[in-house]
């Protein structure tokens, strides 16, 4: 027998440690707040945060909306911006990867805009669009388009050159090589961009809402800061974290499903 | 012989013959296209600003340049332009250094030791999806509006990509490399120092690049919320006093500063790990 299956048992301590560390973390957090090592004006205990969450499900104080409404506003903004950046960014990146003329024309502008943190656009968008939905969608769009363009561009660039040469030998023209060879081979990279773009969108959404908003999870945090209620701040942070994680998980599943036929 | 065409590792060498300057060649020349695109961009910008399409809220490019030059030799809120640039850069550098010094070794250590991994990874996964900007409010609550809160946000923001890349860099090292050094009789120590670290360096540097750009985003967010110096302060002041020249000037300067620091990390990377393969033109 050439190969033998070797089973390595995971030691018990490695199995238990993750639960211990999570539990320990929450316990320490609870204790340092309850015993007053950290005053409760600075940090809220996890149980308080949980209680605030249930209260916020129906109570509109002090920020004028329930937590579900806030989350809904945020998700709406994030997805509009995200979808727009996909629709524009991916075709642009693919074309930039293959057509020299498109690359020559778009690259300087792209390189000019790329290093500007999307948050820096907030004042201009407030001037241009006010503090409504449009402005935030614009910022999220700017944030999401960068990874989309870069990944699809690199994806096309990484096409196996042997395949391109083979296609040329068989008499395919540039357009056929681009649509039938480069785009499919760039797909895994493009899907990698989805996850990345979503993270960027989510981060910058919070930034946009912290600075200029009247609803949304970021706004919930700002209001918590303004009325000095750490439980609301922590609640806002946690809800942003959890909703971001859930969306990321869903996208990951979709990606796996769509990519099932493509060899990585 | 000159490389004229490249996709990934394909390089097609042409024996260059002297070609005539046909119209088509000039029109598809990369530098020509770049120049055209920048000029058109500036002209459109200028036109939109001049015709007040966005009312008064877009400044003409030339006015932005004048504003930047004006700031270099006039004090604005206590210090001139260099003072503001340095204030932001210093925050970024302090936060970024703290984060990378702690996160990179921790990431390497987590990847090498299953017990450390089992203890730290769940906590890290708990904090990972939380955008660093969400910490701005609570940082102000904890540390006031001074330097500490800004550095804290930058540390939080740049910690995650550093650690994640160091961790994945080690885990994705080609297992055959380990086999080779084992066959050659290397100890565990040799495996770590001669295979694991050199092979994961490119990933670590990629992480440093990402965290640097996150650090600039964070410093901007922190300065926009509350500060009295820095480029973010200039942008915020421009917003409050409705001066688009100041906002656009601040944006351009922060882009330049972010670009320069990332070039610095690039140079450092070339020095420290010359074995990394690059994709050309990117």
Which CATH number belongs to the domain containing residue B146 in this structure? 1.10.3720.10
What pLDDT was estimated at residue B10?
55
The helix/strand/coil state of B215 is: helix
Average pLDDT over residues B265-269: 86
Domain count of chain A?
1
Is there a contact between B130 and A238 if contact means CB atoms under 8 Å apart? Answer: yes
Mean per-residue pLDDT, B20-46: 83
Place of tokens 């083979």: A166
B31 and B104 belong to one structural domain: no
Token readout for B172 is 């994705």
Beta carbons of A164 and B7 less than 8 Å apart: yes
Q: Check whether residue B83 and residue B112 sit in a common domain.
A: yes
What is the pLDDT, as a whole number, of residue A263?
52
- The secondary structure element, H or E, covering residue B124 is helix B114-127
- Determine which of B31, B130, B153, B210 to mutate to test the interface with A (most A C-beta atoms within 10 Å): B130
Q: What is the pLDDT of residues A154-201, one digit of tens each?
A: 889 888 888 888 999 998 888 888 888 888 888 888 888 888 888 888
Domain that holds residue B88: 59-272
Whether residue B75 sits in one domain with residue B16 = no
Q: Is the pLDDT of residue B2 over 60?
A: no
Specify which of A27-36, B134-143, B150-159 reaches the highest per-range mean pLDDT: B150-159
Residue A29 lies in a domain: no
Is residue B177 one of the residues assigned to a domain? yes
Mean pLDDT calculated for residue range A139-152: 90
The complex's ipTM?
0.81
| B99 plus B20 within the same structural domain | no
pLDDT confidence band for B282 (50 / 70 / 90): very low
Assess contact for A219 and A241: CB atoms under 8 A: no
Report if residue B35 sits inside a domain.
yes
Which residue's entry shows tokens 């990972």? B128
Q: Which of B3, B131, B266 to mutate to test the interface with A (most CBs of A within 10 A)?
A: B131
Q: How many angstroms separate the Cα of A254 from the Cα of each of A47, A82, B88, B115, B130? A: 35, 15, 40, 32, 22
Q: Please answer whether residues A209 and A219 qualify as being in contact, where contact means their C-beta atoms are separated by less than 8 angstroms.
A: yes
Query: What does the pLDDT look like over A35-86, one tens digit per residue?
Result: 878 777 778 888 888 888 888 778 777 767 788 888 888 888 888 999 999 9
- Grouping H, G, I as helix, E, B as strand and the rest as coil, residue B277 is coil
- Whether residue B122 lies within 8 A of chain A, CB to CB, comes out as yes
Cα-trace Rg, chain A: 24
Q: Which residue carries 């000037």 as its tokens?
A: B249
- Say whether residue B266 is in contact with chain A using an 8 A CB cutoff: no
pLDDT recorded at residue B7: 56
B-facing residues of A in 210-229 (CB < 8 A) are 210-211, 218, 221-222, 224-225, 228
Q: Write the pLDDT tens digit of every residue in B177-223.
A: 888 888 998 888 888 888 888 888 888 888 898 899 889 988 998 88
Closest CA relative to residue B199, chosen from B229, B221, B169, B242: B169
DSSP code string of chain A: --------PPPHHHHHHHHHHHHHHHHHHHHHHHTTSS-TTT---HHHHHHHHHHHTT--TTTTS-HHHHHHHHHHHHHHHHHHHHHHHHHHHHHHHH-HHHHHHHHHHHHHHTTS-GGGGHHHHHHHHTTSHHHHHHHHHHHHHHHHHHHHHHHHHTS-HHHHHHHHHTT--HHHHIIIIIHHHHHHHHHHHHHHHHHHHHHHHHHHHHHS-SSSHHHHHHHHHHTT-HHHHHHHHHHHHHHHHHHHHHHHHHHHHHTTTS--
pLDDT band at residue A236 using 50, 70 and 90 as cut-offs: confident
| Angstrom distance (rounded) from CA B213 to CA A115 | 8
- Domain-located, residue B231: yes
Distance between CA atoms of A79 and B79, rounded to whole angstroms? Answer: 41
Residue B208 neighbours by CB distance under 10 Å: 24
Following CA atoms B211, B216, B217, B222 in sequence, which dihedral angle do they give, to the nearest 10 degrees?
A: 120
**pLDDT grade, residue B18 (50/70/90)?**
low
- Give domain status of residue B259, yes or no: yes
Minimal-distance CA residue of chain A relative to B4: A100
Residue A262 has pLDDT above 70, yes or no: no
Residues B10 and B68 grouped into a single domain = no
Whether B30 is covered by a domain: the verdict is yes
Answer yes or no: is A17 within a domain. no
Which one-letter DSSP state was computed for residue B134? G
> What pLDDT shows up at residue B49?
82
Residue B134 corresponds to which tokens in the numbers above?
């969400």
> Sorting pLDDT into bands at 50, 70 and 90, what band is B280?
very low
Flag whether B47 is in a domain: no
Q: A195 touching B, CB under 8 A?
A: no
Is A182 in the B-facing interface, judged by CB distances under 8 Å? no
Say if residue B120 is in the same domain as residue B216: yes
Range of the domain at A155: 42-263
Q: Residues 133..172 of B with a Cβ closer than 8 Å to A: which? A: 133-138, 140-142
Identify all chain B residues contacting A119, using CB atoms and an 8 Å cutoff: 133, 217, 220-221, 224
Mean pLDDT of chain B: 83
Coil, helix or strand at residue B3:
strand
Domain-embedded: residue A88? yes
Strand, coil or helix: B78: coil
What's the length of chain B?
Answer: 282
Can you tell me the distance from the alpha carbon of B157 to that of B219, in angstroms, rounded to the nearest whole number? 10
Tens of pLDDT, residue by residue over B102-141, are 999 999 988 888 888 888 888 888 888 888 888 888 888 8
Beta-carbon contacts of residue B4 (< 8 Å; ≥ 6 apart): B12, B13, B14, B16
B245 and B115 in one domain? Answer: yes
Assigned domain for B69 exists: yes
Q: How many domains does chain B have?
A: 2
pLDDT of residue B154: 92
Q: Tokens 């922590």 correspond to what residue? A: A234
- Is B234 found in the same domain as B106? yes
Radius of gyration (Cα) for chain B, nearest Å? 24
Residue B224 forms part of a structural domain? yes
Contact across the interface for A210 and B130, Cβ inside 8 Å? no
- What is the C-alpha end-to-end distance of chain B, expressed in Å? 22
A28, part of any domain: no
Closest C-alpha to A62, from A208, A230, A217, A232: A232
* B76 three-state secondary structure: strand
In three-state form (DSSP H/G/I as H, E/B as E, the rest C), the secondary structure along A3-47 is: CCCCCCCCCHHHHHHHHHHHHHHHHHHHHHHHCCCCCCCCCCCHH
Is residue B88 a contact partner of residue B232, using CB atoms and an 8 Å limit? Answer: yes
Closest Cα in chain A, distance from residue B78 (Å):
22
Confidence of residue B96 (pLDDT cuts 50, 70, 90): very high
Beta bridge partners of B10: B7
Q: Is A203 within 8 Å of B132 when comparing Cβ atoms?
A: yes
Read off the CATH number of the domain in which A126 is found: 1.10.3720.10
pLDDT score, position B279? 46
Cα B206 to Cα A34, B14, B269, B276, distances in angstroms: 42, 33, 9, 11
Angstrom distances, CA of residue A91 to CA of A95, A145, B185 = 6, 11, 51
B28: buried, middle or exposed (CB in 10 Å: 19+, 13-18, 0-12)?
A: middle
Residues B121 and B161 in one domain: yes
What is the pLDDT of chain A when averaged over all its residues?
A: 85
pLDDT at position B92? 92
B75 and B18 in one domain? Answer: no
- Chain centre to alpha carbon of residue B71: 25
Question: What is residue B20's DSSP assignment?
Answer: P
- Same domain membership, residue B251 and residue B220: yes
Residue B83 sits in the same domain as residue B210 = yes
């Amino acid at each position: 027998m050439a190969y033998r299956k070797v089973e390595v048992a995971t030691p018990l301590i490695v199995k238990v440690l993750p639960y211990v560390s999570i539990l320990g973390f929450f316990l320490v957090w609870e204790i340092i707040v309850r015993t007053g090592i950290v005053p409760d004006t600075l940090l809220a205990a996890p149980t308080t945060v949980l209680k605030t969450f249930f209260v916020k499900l129906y109570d509109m104080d002090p920020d004028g909306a329930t937590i579900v409404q806030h989350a809904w506003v945020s998700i709406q903004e994030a997805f509009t911006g995200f979808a727009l950046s996909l629709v524009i960014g991916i075709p642009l990146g693919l074309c930039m990867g293959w057509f020299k003329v498109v690359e020559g024309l778009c690259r300087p502008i792209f390189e000019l805009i790329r290093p500007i943190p999307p948050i820096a656009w907030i004042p201009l968008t407030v001037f241009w669009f006010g503090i409504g939905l449009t402005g935030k969608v614009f910022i999220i769009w700017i944030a999401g388009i960068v990874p989309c363009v870069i990944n699809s561009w690199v994806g096309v660039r990484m096409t196996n050159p042997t395949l391109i040469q083979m296609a040329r030998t068989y008499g395919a023209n540039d357009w056929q090589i681009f649509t039938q060879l480069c785009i499919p081979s760039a797909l895994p990279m493009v899907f990698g961009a989805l996850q990345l773009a979503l993270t960027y969108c989510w981060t910058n959404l919070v930034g946009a809402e912290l600075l200029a908003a009247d609803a949304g999870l970021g706004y919930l945090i700002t209001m918590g800061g303004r009325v000095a209620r750490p439980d609301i701040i922590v609640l806002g942070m946690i809800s942003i974290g959890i909703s971001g994680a859930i969306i990321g998980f869903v996208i990951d599943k979709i990606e796996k499903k769509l990519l099932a036929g493509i060899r990585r | 012989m000159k490389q004229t065409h490249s996709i990934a590792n394909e390089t097609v060498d042409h024996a260059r013959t002297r070609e005539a300057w046909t119209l088509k060649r000039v029109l598809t020349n990369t530098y020509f296209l770049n120049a055209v695109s920048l000029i058109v961009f500036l002209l459109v910008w200028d036109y939109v600003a001049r015709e007040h399409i966005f009312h008064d809220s877009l400044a003409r490019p030339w006015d932005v340049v004048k504003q930047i030059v004006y700031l270099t030799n006039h004090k604005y809120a206590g210090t001139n332009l260099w003072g503001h640039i340095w204030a932001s850069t210093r925050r970024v550098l302090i936060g970024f250094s703290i984060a990378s010094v702690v996160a990179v070794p921790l990431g390497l250590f987590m990847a090498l030791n299953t017990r450390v991994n089992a203890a730290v990874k769940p906590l890290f996964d708990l904090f990972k999806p939380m955008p660093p900007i969400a910490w701005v409010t609570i940082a102000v609550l904890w540390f006031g509006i001074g330097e500490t809160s800004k550095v804290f946000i930058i540390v939080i923001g740049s910690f995650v990509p550093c650690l994640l890349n160091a961790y994945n860099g080690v885990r994705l090292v080609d297992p055959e490399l380990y086999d080779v050094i084992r066959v050659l009789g290397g100890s565990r120590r040799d495996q770590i120092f001669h295979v694991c670290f050199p092979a994961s360096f490119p990933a670590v540097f990629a992480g440093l690049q990402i965290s640097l750009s996150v650090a600039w985003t964070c410093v901007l967010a922190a300065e926009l919320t509350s500060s009295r110096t820095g480029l973010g302060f200039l942008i915020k002041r421009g917003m409050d006093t409705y001066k688009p020249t100041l906002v656009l000037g601040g944006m351009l300067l922060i882009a330049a500063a972010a670009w320069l620091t990332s070039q610095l990390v690039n140079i450092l990377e070339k020095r420290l790990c010359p074995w990394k393969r690059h994709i050309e033109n990117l």
